[in-house]
Amino acid sequence: MRERRVSVGDAILAHSPVAGNGIHFALLTAKLAAELAHSWIANAKESARAAAFYCELARSSRVRHVNALQRSHQEQPQPDLRSAIGGYVRFAGPTRCEPLHVGEGFKEGEAIVLPDGTSVRWLAGVDLLELRAIASRPVPASSVVNYFSATGLSTSRARALMDWCMKHELLSTTLDG
Ligand SMILES: Cc1cc2nc3c(=O)[nH]c(=O)nc-3n(C[C@H](O)[C@H](O)[C@H](O)COP(=O)(O)OP(=O)(O)OC[C@H]3O[C@@H](n4cnc5c(N)ncnc54)[C@H](O)[C@@H]3O)c2cc1C
């Protein structure tokens, strides 16, 4: 991004066909670039936030894509995180304030920092920051799965999201409640 010129899709980051996600990224950045251009006309303050969000999206997408490619070359067995379902967990993710894309606009808000330095707030339609309130102290892992299920996810997707949160250190296991 330079002044009022915005790159989208492969012009930002040429995704490897091996790791995929190039089409999703192209569509996502095309939509966001249109919103960014709209903010130039509509709202100067939001425009700065939108630009910061867009640059961070490009940076974090690069980090995730490179990491995914590196993982695809390694044959390390993944730990069986599902074993945590029977134990206790608590929220462990650090957070930071940054520009977020909410609805059709850009706002300053809190996001959870992942171990690779990228951040997340919503995944599979779930506001992951809710975990901070739900699991501020050790709670049965099953109650977190139940919370995900209550947002409309199937049990298998709720468990997959739980595994994702464990793998990315948003939740840590504890011995008991
Ligand atoms: C072999 C292969 C397999 C892939 N498989 C997948 C997959 O399974 N899933 C996935 O998500 N991604 C896949 N990708 C990646 C995906 O295709 C790209 O990330 C995606 O198409 C990028 O979209 P884009 O709009 O940024 O660019 P493009 O789709 O490349 O579109 C750019 C367009 O601009 C045109 N153009 C260029 N210069 C000019 C010019 N000067 N004037 C006018 N027009 C111009 C080009 O002709 C092209 O039509 C694959 C890529 C390759 C190469």
Give, using CA atoms, the residue closest to atom 14 of ligand 1: 17
Q: What is the DSSP string of 39-78?
A: HHHH-HHHHHHHHHHHHHHHHHHHHHHHHHHHHHH--PPP
**Per-residue pLDDT, 28:** 95
Residues 56 and 141 in one domain: no
Q: Total structural domains in the chain?
A: 2
Q: Ligand 1 in contact with 28 (CB < 6 A)?
A: no
Q: Helices 155-167 & 141-150, crossing angle to 10 degrees?
A: 130
Q: Ligand 1 in contact with 27 (CB < 6 A)?
A: no
Q: Ligand 1 in contact with 9 (CB < 6 A)?
A: yes
pLDDT averaged over the chain?
Answer: 88
Q: Are 110 and 97 in contact (CB under 8 A)?
A: yes
Residues 85 and 166 in one domain: yes
Distance (angstroms) between ligand 1 centre and the Cα of 10 equals: 7
Q: Ligand 1 in contact with 124 (CB < 6 A)?
A: no
Distance (angstroms) between ligand 1 centre and the Cα of 22 equals: 8
Distance (angstroms) between ligand 1 centre and the Cα of 9 equals: 8
Reported as a single tens digit per residue, the pLDDT across 6-23 is 999 999 999 988 877 899
Residues 65 and 30 in one domain: yes
Residues 45 and 67 in one domain: yes
Residues 64 and 86 in one domain: no
> Does 175 score more than 90 pLDDT?
no
Q: Ligand 1 in contact with 18 (CB < 6 A)?
A: no
> Does 80 score more than 80 pLDDT?
no
**Per-residue pLDDT, 71:** 80
Residues 159 and 85 in one domain: yes
**Per-residue pLDDT, 54:** 94
**Could you tell me the pTM of the whole model?**
0.80
Residues 87 and 161 in one domain: yes
Q: Are 173 and 165 in contact (CB under 8 A)?
A: no
In ligand 1, the atom with minimum distance to the C-alpha of 10 is: 26
**Per-residue pLDDT, 68:** 85
Domain that holds residue 135: 81-93+119-174
Residues 136 and 170 in one domain: yes
Reported as a single tens digit per residue, the pLDDT across 118-171 is 999 999 889 999 999 999 999 999 999 999 999 999 999 999 999 999 999 999
